[in-house]
Amino acid sequence: MSDVTLILQAIERGEKKTSEELIPLVYDELRRLAAVRLTTEPAGQTLQPTALVHEAWMRLIGGQTQTWENRVHFFAAAAEAMRRIMIERARRKSRIKHGGGQERVNIEMINIAGALPDEKVLLVDEALEHLEKEDPETAQIVKLRFFGGLNNDEIAKITGKNGRSIRRQWDYAKVRLFKFMQST
């Protein structure tokens, strides 16, 4: 069992100081994930990896008692927190700058894990919400890849699956997201 898993279990038992022990173990990995994701953002964006990690950390640890089963569960929750932060940011910018209008996106013309303007991030998020209702496991892979910045091999390592399965689920997710985005 990893140190992260042991500390997460201690946090679940209500030991207060353990969250202070967790941050040094996961901070570098969280910052790397945030940096990878933010490097695909368009030039001129103002959100920095450190700010994204700190905001995600506050959502993960601050206020409410959280429980995580293991390292995988924790990093999945961190990717979800980062996703929500980026979606909220994109919605806020879209409301302010663009009047909230959205445009159709041909998913074949974009790299879904690449740079997307804020409006397109919102469209991908809406499609992801529909995918999550159909196939939560595949939606989790999209979150880890698109919002967490992980590649297929990293996702396979975190989830305990093999790389081919992750690639197949990623390909399936792209098709499902594309079909949804075409219909809107």
| DSSP one-letter string for 33-72 | HHHHHHHTSPTT----HHHHHHHHHHHHHSSS----SSHH
Output the six-digit token pair for 31.
């910052």
Q: At what angle do helices 71-98 and 118-134 cross, to 10 degrees?
A: 140
Number of domains observed in the structure of the chain: 1
Q: What is the pLDDT of residue 99?
A: 46
Greatest Cα pair distance in the chain: 50
End-to-end CA distance of the chain: give it in Å, rounded: 45
Q: pLDDT for 161-177, tens place per residue?
A: 998 999 999 988 888 88
pTM of the model: 0.51
Q: Which domain holds residue 140?
A: 3-183
Average pLDDT, the chain: 76
